[in-house]
């Protein structure tokens, strides 16, 4: 089950049965997997993507990246993986689809920030 013991107790106290809590937990797991699939689909056919990533020594607010691949996995509500650009990569620690043209990823070391990636630089 996705929910920790405190959350399960609170949900029971709010009136949910164990079966209802299990069903809600499965919906969270399914939604996380669907989000991971949608993010991978977003990057799948892109050669270049634009972002609002803060890059040291960059004069522009919008950065262009050559994408090699993204590899995501899920565990319960956790979405993690790796995004590889031409010459460097970064761990992914969460993400969501904002629009058909834009996703937002929470990136780990060395970026440690939420970054929007898009096919349309004007949308940033």
Please report the domains of the chain, with CATH numbers, ordered by start residue.
Answer: 5-123 (2.70.180)
User: What is the end-to-end Cα distance of the chain in Å, rounded?
Assistant: 38
Q: What is the residue-level pLDDT of the chain in tens, covering all 124 positions?
A: 778 899 999 999 999 999 999 999 999 999 999 999 999 999 998 999 999 998 766 677 889 999 999 999 999 899 999 999 998 999 999 999 999 999 999 999 989 999 999 999 988 8
**Considering Cα of 35, then 38, then 81, then 111, what sign does the dihedral take?**
negative
pTM of the model as a whole = 0.90
CA distance 17 to 14: 9
Tokens 């522009």 -> residue: 60
pLDDT at 97: 97
């Amino acid at each position: 089950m996705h929910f920790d013991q405190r959350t399960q107790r609170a949900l029971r106290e709010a009136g949910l049965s164990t079966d209802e809590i299990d069903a809600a937990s499965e919906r969270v797991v399914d939604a996380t997997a669907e989000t991971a699939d949608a993010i991978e689909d977003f990057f799948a056919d892109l050669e270049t993507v634009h972002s609002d990533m803060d890059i040291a020594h960059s004069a522009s607010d919008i950065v262009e990246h050559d994408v090699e691949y993204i590899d995501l996995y899920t565990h319960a509500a956790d979405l993690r993986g790796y995004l590889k650009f031409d010459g460097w990569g970064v761990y992914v620690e969460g993400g969501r689809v904002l629009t058909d043209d834009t996703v937002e990823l929470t990136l780990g070391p060395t970026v440690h920030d939420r970054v929007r990636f898009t096919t349309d630089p004007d949308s940033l």
